[in-house]
Amino acid sequence: MSVHLEREMAFLRKNILEEAAMVEQAIDRAIRAVRDRDAALGAEVVDGDREIDEAEIRVEEECLKILALYNPVASDLRFIVTVLKMNNDLERMGDLAVSMARRAQFLSKNEVPYPLPGDFDIMSQSVREMVRKALDALINGDDELAMKVCQHDDQVDQLKRKMGNEIRNMMERDPQNMRGLLKMLDLTRHMERIADLATNISEDVVYLVRGEIIRHSVKDV
């Protein structure tokens, strides 16, 4: 590897890790905003989305520049391809955090006479752990940790279904509060989608380390 390419690859790694840290913080704040019905914290998440978007563009531009100028091969090329995929997933996670934050703002300003479903804290903690471990796997090139994240996704799916049924039962009993309950239902979907994207990132880590695509076989591994 040339000195120039090595420097560019190190810079790319730094940028994707910085973006990942911003996204993880946004998800954590969005969940806290929902749990505490904290409109101000929700607004911070919404306002911070531009920074994540700008980070996503920087990473993509850096990948394209390296591809154009250095024609990387082997492990370097695999790293760039992986970063391009992760970059998109991270930006989508940031968007989902914003959607959650906006629902936190709604719930803080509108009287919804129901607490969050009982499993919200369990699901949100599971999602945060999946995100954290997926990013730790990326930082450390830990394919075993990445596999554990992938195998944890089923638990989040089950919690989402359970809470969804609970909220739909509330809707049937109390249609007058339909709008607020729909916001709660959206929250379960957003968290489940964040978990899916954490799984995507973990699958990409496995590809980066092993050169193996596990996307359609991970649950059988």
Q: Cβ(36)–Cβ(73) under 8 Å?
A: no
pLDDT of residue 19: 96
Which phi and psi angles does 97 have, rounded to 5°? -60, -40
Helix 143-173 to helix 120-140 angle (10° resolution) is 160
How far is CA 2 from each of CA 71, 72, 93, 170, 186, rounded to the nearest angstrom? 11, 10, 34, 62, 49
Q: Which residues contact 182 (CB under 8 A, 6 or more apart)?
A: 171
Model pLDDT, residue 218: 55
Contacts (Cβ under 8 Å, ≥6 apart) of 195: 126, 127, 130, 153, 156, 157
Which H or E element spans position 164?
Answer: helix 143-173
DSSP 2: -
CB 107 within 8 A of CB 183: yes
Query: What local confidence, expressed as pLDDT, does residue 211 receive?
Result: 86
- How do the pLDDT tens digits run along the chain, 221 residues long? 689 999 999 999 999 999 999 999 999 999 999 999 999 999 999 999 999 999 999 999 999 999 999 999 888 999 999 999 999 999 999 999 999 999 999 999 887 778 888 899 999 999 999 999 999 999 899 999 999 999 999 999 999 999 999 999 999 999 998 999 999 999 999 999 999 999 999 999 999 999 888 877 655 44
Walk me through the domains of the chain, giving residue ranges and CATH numbers. 3-220 (1.20.58.220)
